[in-house]
Structure 1
Amino acid sequence: MTMATIAFPRALRITALSAAALALAACSFGPSGTPPAMPQPAHYGAEAQPTQTVAAQGVTQQFVVGAKPVPEWWKLYQSDALDALVDEGLRNSPTLAATDKSLAAAREQLRAQIGSSMLPTIDAGGQATRNRALAIPEGGPNTFLYNVFVGQLQAHYTFDLFGAARLADAALAARVNVQAYQLDAARRALAANIVSAAITSSALRAQIDTTERLVALADDQARDAQRRYTLGAVSHADQLSAQQSAASLSASLPGLKQQWLTTRHALAVLLGRTPDAAPDDLDLAQLHVPEQVPVVVPSELLRTRPDIQAADAALKAAAADVGVATAQMFPSLSLSASMGQGGFSWPAALSGAGAIWSIGASLSQPLFHGGALVAQRRAALDTYDATVSQYRQTVLAAFQNVADTLAALQHDTQALGAANVAARSAQGIFEETSGRYRLGAVPVSATRSSEQQFRNARLDEIRYTSARLTDTAALFQAMGNPPVEPAPSVATAAPAGPAANAGAPTTH
């Protein structure tokens, strides 16, 4: 055994250990990408949230603190028509389809980058040329005509000594995760928008029907005042006042119808339809408000909200960018090799004498780039710090969103409870007055006045019924999705850097 055969394995071990040390050194090139610690409030709002809402229309909603979010929460409204609308929107929305395809394209770009950065490239090439070259005049003919035939395989590989390629792959993988979480958020937002639009459209239709009845009553009142004024039973001011009230009420009806049609058109587009194919309104009375609403604790909300998860992935991408900018300041080693056949004729090119090959290595170390590499690293660090602040703001905004939604649901339910009592009382007065009118005890104007009071109270009840239904939808939306561990993806092919987020999140 010669000294050469002993030294070669030892050199391999030394090289392997050196590469491992360099790879570990790459892990310290940038921030860890761990999200900053956020405060964990005891409750979301300025006031402690109650365990339940007040009773309204016979229903008391329970706030189940610590429960998991509900993925398909709209089914708790117990309306097959509403479920069908949401399913249609999730299936046919062009915006959602475009976002989905953009995510698929980003994942393919990630696969392409990993393949090109982590594996060697091998290319096959062939060349056949005919050339004319000048010769020495004293040596014979003035020109030479000859052919060249070459066919070869070329290979190239750049060693990722300091983790620049792996960190770049990790940064792109994290940005793919950002898009995946944004798709998840878009799906949930679309479902919430469809539910809210359907409820609002139904409520507006009910308000229009009630307002049209109020307009008819006001017109009857104005005509009655006109007749009484003609008979001298009332003053001219009373007649004008009744006319003015009827006209003012009629003026409110076109705006209400415009809101209704605008909402229906928006709902149709959300479903992927043209506005002329807007769906029929749901029956507001057939929508059942969910009696139990999950309230995720603040620490768990960081894992259930897609917007927070997207901010987390963006933070990991920014941390990996710092590592990339740092690694670019260190040496780069590349190997290249080629082998093939060549000659001045096909027989010579295909013979053993036509074998050609080459092998080489190149090592480069940045020395002077006018401060560009240092500036790029500082820029990456500043971007990372900005992303940390954006993450904090996203979390705080999520807490505010939940707090506002909880408060809105509580207060609108309180208003609905009062409006429901007022409507039932006004209805009782109207029914009693109608009974007395049929007995001849009161004039028709008294019946008309009591019905107007009942219809106005009913308008308030419709508004607050719609508000509670949409507030409940907003609260379900604010809770996010049940946390799901990321599924393995192609990004795991790249050795994880300090900020790699290799898995793509599972969307619902």
Structure 2
Amino acid sequence: MTIDFVPLLRRVRPWGLALLGLTLAACALGPDGSPPEAPRPARYGAQPLAAQTAAAGGVAQRFEVGARPVPEWWKAYGSPALDALVAEGLANSPDLAAADRRLSAAREQLKAQIGGNLLPSVDAGAEASRGRRLALPTTPSPTALYNLFVGQLQAQYTFDLFGAARYANASLAARVDRQVFQLDAARRALAANIVTGAIDAAVLRAQIEATERLVALAAQDARETQRRHELGAVAQGDALEARRSAAALAASLPGLRAQWQATRHALAVLLGRTPDQAPEDLDISQLATPAQLPVVVPSELLAARPDIQAADAALKAAAANVGVATAQMYPSLSLSATMGKGGFDWSRALSGAGDIWTVGASLSMPLFHGGALRAQRRAALADYDAAVDDYRQTVLAAFRNVADSLARLEQDADALAAADTAREAAGRAFADARRRVELGAVPPSAARAREQQYLDAQVQALARAGARLSDTAALFQAMGSME
């Protein structure tokens, strides 16, 4: 509950400020920072979630609703080479190292702020000087030379009557917590990017090999069609069409190679390497498809996702800032004390006659600041309301992220199953055509046509298999962590 003490302060008498301070110390000057009530949907997506996906590639992925997130989920792919890449990236990424150092700096700043505004300050000072002053008319000497020696300790403490310092510390602590959660999110995102980058590079490499064979077959067809045209067996249009088809296919290969190289370069940078030190491609056929996929229930996703936890920390920081802005509208009480020695020579300065000390108290109360303090409080309240909206949006985006990942996996399985069926049929047709060529029943061009169909199906199946593996990584990441 937020209490507006501004009208009350206008009516209170000066002698009642101390009593008001004690009263306000027990009350909150700003929101408590609790997150708003989050939606609790019965399921993530618009359609009910199936118990498992269709069987594709020999694996039907099962959704384990209510399971906990898997911390090192990339190990579910069963590839030691992939595990090594992730470990290297987490250990050597400059982005993670920089974020970790910024977090360390923020923690030290928090310690400094707490020590500076909750504990008294004590300083030591010393002064030694020689001067000359004008003599008085009654003194015989026209000028007077003197030495001054002073040594003292100064102490000061400001009472946190209305919690301004405590709110400021709470705000900074919440911002440090936010950096902790953002660092966790960055680690998980880096791991997912390494996994998907390695998968994409492996798929592209396999697709390039299949496409190179397609280009070779198309070029062979174009040469044979040209010879048949020269013999008068086919029309010139057929020869030109075969040549065009071979050239178009060859034109697609450089773009595919450039995409593969760019993927490898990006993966190298994720690992903390230079692009020329890109890792060797994984064998896509050696990557296992994780069969068990955890699906955290929506009510527990709020605690599992680091982005939601970061939004919660930002909300708490904004609530504390409201307290700071409100506390600045009330009086401030400070105590100061000075103790030391002083004199015009060392003997007097060190004697009892050289003792110097002061004790004082100061009370300040804002009366007129041109509306600045009230405007600052309204700005803090607006920032808090925005943080509430940001939290709600982060929760909704997290639910959508999970829903999209689940939907893609279901569709990936269906697409891969169809692509595998097409590849199997094309492979059998190619094998049959090759046997018939060996028997002399059909010309070699028939076998090349079937092989081209098989390779086309192979390229499509590779793309579908890669998408399924990458979307599996996206789901693992979407589930967050409960370490």
Residue in structure 1 matched with residue 449 of structure 2 by the alignment? 449
Correspondence for 2:25 among 23, 26, 29: 23
Residue in structure 1 matched with residue 353 of structure 2 by the alignment? 353
1:330 counterpart letter in structure 2: Y
How big is the shift at 1:355? 1.3
CA RMSD of the aligned region, Å?
1.4
Distance 2:462 2:18 in 1: 74
Identity %: 66
Q: Gapped runs of 5+ residues in structure 1? A: 1-14, 485-508
Matches within 5 A, 1:119-130: 119-130=119-130
1:409 counterpart letter in structure 2: L
Residue in structure 2 matched with residue 86 of structure 1 by the alignment? 86
How big is the shift at 1:353? 1.6
1:54 counterpart letter in structure 2: A
How big is the shift at 1:18? 7.8
> Which deviates more, 16-25 or 67-76?
16-25
TM-score under structure 1 normalisation?
0.90
Structure 1: 4+ residue segments shifted above 4 A: 15-20
Residue in structure 1 matched with residue 411 of structure 2 by the alignment? 411
How big is the shift at 1:281? 0.2
Number of equivalences: 468
How big is the shift at 1:137? 2.3
Residue 45 of structure 2: SS of its match in structure 1? coil
Query: In the alignment, is residue 263 of structure 1 matched against residue 263 of structure 2?
Result: yes
2:150 counterpart letter in structure 1: V
Distance 1:149 1:447 in 2: 107
TM-score under structure 2 normalisation?
0.95
Q: Deviations over 1:72-107 (max 9, x none)?
A: 110111101001101111111111111111111111
Residue 251 of structure 1: SS of its match in structure 2? helix
Matches within 5 A, 1:45-64: 45-64=45-64
How big is the shift at 1:142? 2.1
How big is the shift at 1:131? 1.4
Residue in structure 2 matched with residue 235 of structure 1 by the alignment? 235
Residue in structure 2 matched with residue 377 of structure 1 by the alignment? 377
Residue in structure 1 matched with residue 302 of structure 2 by the alignment? 302
Distance 2:20 2:385 in 1: 32
Distance 2:440 2:258 in 1: 41
Distance 1:134 1:183 in 2: 67
Distance 1:218 1:18 in 2: 90
Q: Deviations over 1:117-141 (max 9, x none)?
A: 1100011111111111112123222
How big is the shift at 1:413? 1.3
Query: In the alignment, is residue 114 of structure 1 matched against residue 114 of structure 2?
Result: yes
Residue in structure 2 matched with residue 5 of structure 1 by the alignment? none
1:81 counterpart letter in structure 2: A
Residue 33 of structure 2: SS of its match in structure 1? coil
Matches within 5 A, 1:182-261: 182-261=182-261
How big is the shift at 1:16? 11
Distance 2:142 2:170 in 1: 61
Residue in structure 2 matched with residue 4 of structure 1 by the alignment? none
Q: Deviations over 1:27-71 (max 9, x none)?
A: 2x1111111112111111111111111000110001111111111
Distance 1:330 1:36 in 2: 29
How big is the shift at 1:412? 1.3
Q: Deviations over 1:448-494 (max 9, x none)?
A: 11111100000110000000000000000111111x5xxxxxxxxxx
Distance 2:248 2:440 in 1: 31
Query: In the alignment, is residue 101 of structure 1 matched against residue 111 of structure 2?
Result: no
Residue in structure 2 matched with residue 502 of structure 1 by the alignment? none
Distance 1:354 1:453 in 2: 104
Residue in structure 2 matched with residue 41 of structure 1 by the alignment? 41
Q: Gapped runs of 5+ residues in structure 2? A: 1-16
Residue in structure 2 matched with residue 11 of structure 1 by the alignment? none
How big is the shift at 1:23? 1.9
Residue in structure 2 matched with residue 161 of structure 1 by the alignment? 161
